[in-house]
A and B are shown apart, each in its own frame.
Chain A
Amino acid sequence: MRYIPNNLEVRNEMLKEIGVDSVKQLFSLIPDNLLLKKELDISPPVSEFKLMRDLNSLSDQQAIDPISFLGAGVYRRFIPAVISALVSRAEFLTSYTPYQPEVSQGTLQAMFEFQTLLSQLTGMDIANASMYEGASAAAEAVLMCKRIKPKLDTVLISAGLHPEYLEAVKTYTKFKDLKIKIIPLSDSGYTDLAELERELDSQTLCCLIQSVNFFGVIENLKEISEVLTRNEVLWAAVLPEMTSLGMLTPPGDFGADILVGEGQSLGLPLSYGGPNLGVFAAKKKYMRQMPGRLSGETKDESGKRAFCLTLATREQHIRREKATSNICSNQALCALWGTIYLSLLGKKGIKDLSRINYSKTQYAIKELSALEGVKLRYSGTVYNEFVLETSENSDVVITRLREKNILAGVPLSRFYPQDSSGILVNVTEVNTKEEIDTLVTCMAEVLS
């Protein structure tokens, strides 16, 4: 086995030095009736050559060629070659959690830079070094609210929250005596603030509002903020897409208490939905209630700037059952990926990128909604996603467009079985005008 330097000959010499005759003796603590008497029912070793060929044939079965407008929580991004080259450096890739700061300054400084970039981007006081992904981060936000206000028990959630996030929140809170109430959207696609006000009462713990919401609509954060602040309800902003913050005032500037979301949109590959990059940020006053790792600035004994993991007394390896979360390994390398992406984009790039996404989406909406049998479901302003309603069943439309080598979007029937007409369409910088025009032409064909 090429990964094992000590071959059987060396192993035998080592066994002799240990003072045993066979490997079996070393396993003598295991009751004999449990020791396996035959090899596992797993295929025998496969050569690198053959395995690469097999993997290539599995990889080739995914449809990568069609023109795609799939989004809904993970986004197709242009990814510069620089990022994978840097992230592949073994010093980043093959190191452990930086528990020994003297030999982990690279990871620790990069984490600190990630925390800073995310704080700048979201307008929040502090951000942690990452969570698993967006949905469980949203669930952790609710648990954190419960730690801040343990006596309250009602969680209000906008119907504009990603349905998979809602599922995760329900699962995590099932064991915590929390009630969940869904606040519907208005006809134009915004969270219905009048309804929100009606649902607020003395038991309201927190409110989760996604913006840009699941249907693409940019929520009016100013009005939301006014309602929640007036009623002293904790506000957890949810962002499954982060590049919109290049052109939109971030939730932190409007006073969000917690911000969670998905950082995959920061230049990470799709990878069939994982690994992604959970984002968690908060107001400074809630720092000690936050889950996850934090890199902090300090000095070494000679006074030189240094970084280390800090506020570990919140974490499981110190606090055990009283920890703020059970999270241990997070998504450090994905956070590094996002850090490099944002470093490359910089102040100018993020602004351009978000405006390109916005403009291309506006173009697609204009062209598509002019078609017979197609209309835009919500009139609210959108960023890079929108819901189309088609005169024919959305699954049928999508299947017909797939035959023309187009993935037109995600059918909302996937999440809401009664919704037979809605298609969530996502346009990003990787969609050319030509692709959008092709979608428009083909959509007209399949509906005619």
Chain B
Amino acid sequence: MNPKAPGSSGLVLSEPLLFELPRDGNSGIDLPEMDVDWATESESLPAEMIRQEVEGFPELSEPDVVRHFSRLSTWNFSVDSGFYPLGSCTMKYNPKLNEAAAAMKGFSGAHPYLPEADAQGIMQLLWELQHDLAEISGMDSVCLHPAAGSHGELLGMMLIRAYHMDRGDHQRTKIIIPDSAHGTNPSSAATCGFQSITLPSGKNGQIDLDALDRLVDDQVAGIMITNPNTCGLFESNIDAICQLMHDRGGLIYMDGANMNALVGKVKPGDMGIDVLHFNTHKTFSTPHGGGGPGAGPIALKKELEPFLPKPALRKTEDGFHWDYDIPRSIGQIRSFFGNIGVLIRAYTFIKTLGNTGLREMSETAVVNANYLKKKLEDHFFVPFVDQYCMHEVLISDENLLTDHISTMDMAKGLIDAGFHPPTVYFPLIVKGAMLIEPTETESRLTLDQFVSAMLDLKKRDSSEFQKYPINSYVGRVDEVTAARKPVLKWESPASEED
């Protein structure tokens, strides 16, 4: 097979802002028939409360709107069209079946305040999903409320906080977080009032047990671990880490962003983890949608159950119902029950793959990453080359810089080759990091094409990189000016003259 990269150029159509399109007094929506008399609002409301028009709003027909957004869409790279190896983001194929499931009328058209008797189908689906997530993680119970991974982290932190407070351990206000962690970890800990303590990683990219030992005192509430970690490595001392934390009264939170390596192979519950979140938009194939909606269900051990947010899903002889009577609950973290439309997609994915398919998923993800590692390791610096990686491989620009090629150059060069760049400059502990996650849904041919593009870029003269990317709709974007002089909305030319 030809490993030539797919990057090419073609006709791309330009399109102004919505607000710069003609204003001909049109509307692109046909509202339902008006079949009662118009009420006169001025009879009931003071004049200053009544709005005459929304200034600046568009005046477009339906075809205008369709063309506008269709053109915009063509400026995006997407996983349906190409390889999107963002490390720790798990950009896998998003099955079309999942979309059809979520769009079913009985799901998408269900009001959250339907009487429970009228919503038993959704509740059963959520109940089954809770079971499957508990089984996958080896935990005792699951809460589906969080709207995204970081919302799950925040909930997990709140539970840990509530657990210690309930035991009278008020002094436990610190959370240990490895320096390789996602930024959401320290931020989530801080949002519920914890002080985060940074744990430097060991030379092998894993948690340094001795360093941890020195940090854990009776003020430590817990630790947030990402496993596999953001170097793509499984924390092989996980048993000992959990043991040490538990011996000193702390709990273990696991950031489940990298669960795609573990499903059907190992259970976090068996490792000693107390609470973790899943990212359904990573592990369970729900679409990222350009930045959400995701869903970040959490799974937890028994000792944290009394503090779960309201409402909890219960199964009784009369069917399923929502329980708001949880005396020690931390309260609600959102309205309603969770990002149900997203959870339905995750449910559909889990049922489609089943037990054997889920295991094959994680195995293939790990094989694909190690295949990339093998093909790249003779040409690029691989910081932890002597360990098998899990579902993602970490390389850096260390031996490229002698040729004046940086990670950013490689990223922009890859765009022209037809690939989305990997995660760059993360994790922070490796300078010039490129974190490459192929997922299980990429073919060997695609991986070969990617490797050949990487090798081809490496051979180029560094001066060439300045002009990359050239095939994308815009060239390198000036992010510095954007931050220095923020322009966050369109202003009509008339108002600018004022």
Contact = CB atoms under 8 A, between A and B. Distances in A.
A11 B183 contact: no
B293 A275 contact: yes
Nearest to A269: B108
Contact of A247 (B41, B149, B290, B350): B41
B8 interface: no
Contacts of A107: 76, 290-291
A257 to B, nearest CB: 17
Interface stretch (A148-156, A191-199, A202-210, A338-346): A338-346
A58 B49 contact: no
B306 interface: no
Contacts of A17: 371, 374-375
Interface string A38-65: 0111111110100110111111111110
Contact of B360 (A1, A88, A342): A1
B371 A319 contact: no
B54 A121 contact: yes
24 contacts: A3-B352, A6-B440, A15-B367, A20-B388, A29-B233, A59-B104, A59-B121, A61-B121, A64-B110, A82-B28, A85-B66, A86-B66, A88-B99, A92-B78, A95-B76, A249-B49, A249-B50, A300-B476, A331-B293, A332-B291, A332-B293, A346-B60, A410-B113, A429-B32
Contact of B27 (A34, A349, A356, A362): A349
A127 to B, nearest CB: 8
Q: What 3 pairs between A and B have smallest CB-CB spacing?
A: A273-B336, A61-B121, A333-B289
B69 A171 contact: no
Given A18-B367, A106-B75, A287-B486, A407 B114 contact: yes
Given A301-B475, A432-B35, 19 more contacts: A14-B371, A34-B271, A40-B136, A42-B355, A51-B351, A80-B30, A92-B76, A93-B94, A96-B288, A171-B158, A248-B50, A274-B334, A275-B342, A319-B183, A326-B191, A343-B65, A346-B29, A348-B25, A407-B118
Contacts of A297: 482, 487-488
A62 B106 contact: yes
Given A40-B359, A89-B70, A328 B148 contact: yes
Given A5-B442, A31-B239, A102-B415, A26 B367 contact: yes
Contacts of B465: none
Nearest to B288: A96
Interface string A95-118: 111101111111101111101110
A295 B125 CA distance: 36
Given A39-B355, A298-B477, A298-B482, A100 B420 contact: yes
| Candidate in A85, A103, A332, A352 with the most chain B CB atoms within 10 angstroms | A103
B320 to A, nearest CB: 11
A106 B74 contact: yes
Interface string B347-367: 010111111111111011011
Interface in B149-173: 149-151, 153-154, 158, 161
B101 to A, nearest CB: 5
Interface residues of B, number: 199
A344 B27 contact: yes
B65 A136 contact: no
B292 A329 contact: yes
Nearest to B466: A301
B357 A350 contact: no
Contact of A175 (B158, B285, B357, B479): B158
B311 to A, nearest CB: 10
B304 interface: no
Contact of A326 (B27, B62, B187, B469): B187
A68 B364 CA distance: 48
Identify whether the interface residues of B are mostly helix, strand, loop, or mixed: loop
Contact of A74 (B69, B97, B102, B111): B111
Contacts of B267: 34, 36
Contacts of A222: 46, 48-49
Interface string B468-498: 0100111111110111001111100000000
A45 B357 contact: yes
Contacts of A117: 18, 57
B417 to A, nearest CB: 12
B108 A270 contact: yes
Given A86-B66, A346-B57, A347-B58, A316 B412 contact: no
A136 B420 contact: no
A66 B114 CA distance: 11
A101 B187 contact: no
Contacts of B91: 96
A181 B291 CA distance: 36
Interface string A348-359: 111111011011
Nearest to A359: B39
A318 B147 CA distance: 22
Given A297-B482, A340-B65, A44 B348 contact: no
